[in-house]
Amino acid sequence: MKRDGDMMLSTPKIKSSGIIVEYDGKRALHGIDLDIYPNEVTALIGPSGCGKSTFLRCINRMNDVIDNCKVSGRLMIDDTDVYDPEIDVVELRARVGMVFQKPNPFPKSIYDNVAYGPRIHGLTENKDDMDRIVKKSLKRAGLWDEVSERLDDKALGLSGGQQQRLCIARAIAVNPDILLMDEPCSALDPIATSIIEELINELRERFTIVIVTHSMQQAARVSQKTGYFHLGNIIEYGETNDIFTRPQNEQTEAYISGRIG
Amino acid sequence: MTDQATQTAQSKHLKKRYRAEKRFKFFGLAAICSAAGILLVLLGGLTQMSIPAFTHHYVTLDIAIPETIIQAEQVTDLAAMRKVNWRGMVRQSLRNEFPEVTDRRGKRAIGNLLSGGAGDALRDKVLIDPTIIGSTVAVALPLSDDVDLLLKDLIDRSLPEENRVISDRELTFIDHLEAADRIDRRIAWFLFTSGDSREAEMAGLRSAAVGTLLTMLVTLLFSFPLGVMAAIYLEEIAPKNRLTDLIEVNINNLAAVPSIVFGLLGLAVFINFFHLPRSAPLVGGMVLALMTLPTIIIATRAALAAVPPSIREAALGVGASPIQVIFHHVLPLAMPGILTGTIIGLAQAAGETAPLLMIGMMAFIVDTPMWIDDKATVLPAQIYMWANNPERAFQAKTAAGIICLMVFLLLMNALAIYLRKKYEKRW
């Protein structure tokens, strides 16, 4: 576990400064300043409607597809300005993978689900290479042993937890640096959840992970840093250990101890 | 209120609710039953009416075809074939059956027992097999529509002669032929193999059916890509603003425009302005395509909107461009719905007559159209024209035409269901 001082030393992977999001002129985020560090799991917690998912979707510009949604401020990934009009959103999303709340595999075969990303990004033309990418991605997502015999089966025939791991495999198949997870376990049972949590812990070595979660236990279990959102503001951000054991802010403390939420 | 009173009130309310549910179920069942009953009566009546049209009576005669009339090698020569008096030949052979009749009127009456198309039957036989020239062959010749109706018991023999289309003398001729076992009832293949005709017994659906097929082809080729593309643009790509709202309202209104208006538009724009051929499936198909467009657009938009947003998010999340999201994921998932909408639109168009009236497709067409710029008519128009004919034989023809149109539509729907299932299996 890192100490407080280290936070300032390493360079942040994602640097958000003054991110404001407006839906139809109504502010959902009031200027978020947040640094997210590489090879760590950063958990975003807070009550419903606090803007944590909205912030997550800013990172790979998924808010672009929502009509009347306006994002201002500055969000840097490494040295790239995400909201630079010159930037290619498709390329950005290849660097920033996303896993959604409900498992949403394509209604295709397991193989095609994983191969879709590499295929559209032209990562390989070669069947053998593609097989390798699919195998590697499924292995990393901890799904390979369960599906290696039936790659051509429909993805929708898998269980909920398997589907969610397939979605993770699909996201990492295009070799991103960052993985965004929007409440990835909220539709899963406790066993499937613990498998995914273990997986997140392993994936941390290769990816920078930002996870939005409703479960504080989950945040405490999987993350190294935690940010507490409330009504479109980031109230407190720091080492997960500190946030959960000695929160600086009253609101944070109230939420964590279950008095508000 | 006491607990007891509350309970009785509750159980009363519950009973009332059950009764209402039962009543509703009964009404639903009654509606379905009456609809099915009406359909059954309609279909039953039509089928019964159409049955006589599917068979026809033929008289078999031995006809000598002398080489002096035509040579075997001349068979392919249209002009030479046309010079031969086939009609006279068949009439003469029938007269030979009655050597005792010598007066002009009697001879003519005998000749009139045969259909006007009987000569063609002989000609066709020679065309198929020229080697029969120079010999005597047995040929089955169609009888006239009135004789046919009489033999089908659709004309009452007991009526006084002046009220009957067939005279007493003609009756004796027919009875004579029947007694000699020369007359038999056959399946009326010409109903499907020949075009329209003034002679009720010779009229067929072929030209109209081919005309319908060609028209539908044009309609499909114009309306499907246009409709689907328009729907994709409006639903997936276009920004939501006043202009697109206006377009949407207009498309919905277009679906309710009377079809004759589309016919007028076709006449004014396609024929008078662009000088496209009149009475052709090309123009007919284009007019019907305009009519079908709103149906396809509305159905396609509904099908696109029904694709779960999670699929779009998933595809966007792995870095698909908006167009890739549409063509790789949304469109294939919406395809069954789109196909259903298209088929419904096409079936509607196939049964349409009013717009085609304006562009001259309500026409007497004997020759089968070969391509989309030939003169043609369509099945519903053909049915309408037959229904307008005074000859009694056309009544059965009309019913048979309706049955054929319905079978045509049924086949189209079957094709749609097959395609849908096939598409769905890919997923």
Q: Please, what are the averages of pLDDT over each run of 10 residues along chain B (427 residues)?
A: 78 91 96 96 92 91 84 79 86 89 88 87 86 87 90 86 85 89 89 85 89 93 95 89 90 90 93 91 94 94 91 89 91 89 89 89 85 89 90 89 90 82 65
Q: Which of B241, B318, B327 is the best mutation test for A, with the most CBs of A within 10 A? A: B318
From the list A93, A102, A121, which residue is nearest B317 (CB)? A93
The answer to whether residues B249 and B313 belong to one domain is yes
Tell me how close the Cα of A223 comes to any Cα of chain B, in angstroms.
23
Rounded to the nearest 10 degrees, what angle do helices B331-350 and B206-232 cross at? 140
B329: which chain A residues are within 8 Å (Cβ-Cβ)? Answer: 106
Amino acid, single-letter form, for residue A169: A
- Is B184 part of any domain? yes
Range of the domain at B182: 52-188
A60: which chain B residues are within 8 Å (Cβ-Cβ)? Answer: 317
Domain boundary among B132, B153, B188: B188
Amino acid, single-letter form, for residue A109: S
The answer to whether residues B391 and B257 belong to one domain is yes
Q: How confident is the model at residue A260, as a pLDDT?
A: 61
From the list A60, A104, A174, which residue is nearest B314 (CB)? A104
- Is A142 part of any domain? yes
Tell me how close the Cα of B243 comes to any Cα of chain A, in angstroms.
16
- Is A244 part of any domain? yes
Q: Which of A57, A66, A67, A104 is the best mutation test for B, with the most CBs of B within 10 A? A: A104
Give the H or E element holding residue A238: strand A233-239
The answer to whether residues B90 and B224 belong to one domain is no
Chain A residue with Cα closest to B321 = A90
The residues in B 220-249 lying below 8 A from A, measured between CB atoms, are 239-240
Pairwise CB contact (< 8 Å): B313 & A90: no
Kindly report the CATH number assigned to the domain that includes residue A108.
Answer: 3.40.50.300
Tell me how close the Cα of A98 comes to any Cα of chain B, in angstroms.
5
> CA B205, CA B229: separation in Å to the nearest integer?
35
Pairwise CB contact (< 8 Å): B239 & A67: yes
B327: which chain A residues are within 8 Å (Cβ-Cβ)? Answer: none
Tokens of A214: 């409703």
- Is B47 part of any domain? no
**B32 DSSP assignment:** H
Chain A residue with Cα closest to B236 = A65
Domain boundary among B158, B188, B218: B188
The answer to whether residues B225 and B161 belong to one domain is no
Pairwise CB contact (< 8 Å): A104 & B313: yes
The answer to whether residues B183 and B229 belong to one domain is no
Pairwise CB contact (< 8 Å): A170 & B318: yes
From the list A99, A105, A120, which residue is nearest B319 (CB)? A120
Overall number of domains in chain B:
2
Pairwise CB contact (< 8 Å): B314 & A62: no
Tell me how close the Cα of A120 comes to any Cα of chain B, in angstroms.
7
The answer to whether residues B88 and B165 belong to one domain is yes
pTM score, two decimals? 0.82
Q: How confident is the model at residue B2, as a pLDDT?
A: 66
Kindly report the CATH number assigned to the domain that includes residue B272.
Answer: 1.10.3720.10
A92: which chain B residues are within 8 Å (Cβ-Cβ)? Answer: 319
Concatenating the DSSP letter of every residue in B195-220 gives: ---SSGGG--SHHHHHHHHHHHHHHH
B306: which chain A residues are within 8 Å (Cβ-Cβ)? Answer: none
- Is A261 part of any domain? no
**A123 DSSP assignment:** S
Pairwise CB contact (< 8 Å): A90 & B320: yes
User: Residue A68's CB: how many other CB atoms inside 10 A?
Assistant: 10
- Is A237 part of any domain? yes
CB B284 within 8 A of CB B218: yes
The answer to whether residues B227 and B162 belong to one domain is no
Give the A-side interface with B, CB within 8 Å: 60, 62, 65, 67, 90-94, 97-100, 102, 104-108, 116-117, 120-121, 154, 167, 170-171, 173-174
Concatenating the DSSP letter of every residue in A43-99 gives: EEE-STTSSHHHHHHHHTTGGGGSTTEEEEEEEEETTEETT-TTS-HHHHHHHEEEE
The answer to whether residues B272 and B179 belong to one domain is no
The answer to whether residues B245 and B300 belong to one domain is yes
- Is A223 part of any domain? yes
Overall number of domains in chain A:
1
The answer to whether residues B147 and B284 belong to one domain is no
Range of the domain at A124: 6-256
Concatenating the DSSP letter of every residue in B285-297 gives: HHHHHHHHHHHHH
- Is B35 part of any domain? no
Q: How close are the terminal C-alpha atoms of chain B, in Å?
A: 60
Q: How far is CA A65 from the centre of its chain?
A: 18
A57: which chain B residues are within 8 Å (Cβ-Cβ)? Answer: none
- Is B201 part of any domain? no
The answer to whether residues B74 and B114 belong to one domain is yes
Q: Which of A53, A59, A82, A90 is the best mutation test for B, with the most CBs of B within 10 A? A: A90
Residue B309 at interface with chain A, using a CB cutoff of 8 Å? no
Tell me how close the Cα of A171 comes to any Cα of chain B, in angstroms.
6
The answer to whether residues B357 and B217 belong to one domain is yes
Parts of chain A with a pLDDT under 50: 1-7, 261
Residue B314 at interface with chain A, using a CB cutoff of 8 Å? yes
- Is B93 part of any domain? yes
Pairwise CB contact (< 8 Å): B316 & A120: no
- Helix, strand, coil percentages for chain A (3-state, nearest 5): 40, 25, 35
Chain A residue with Cα closest to B240 = A67
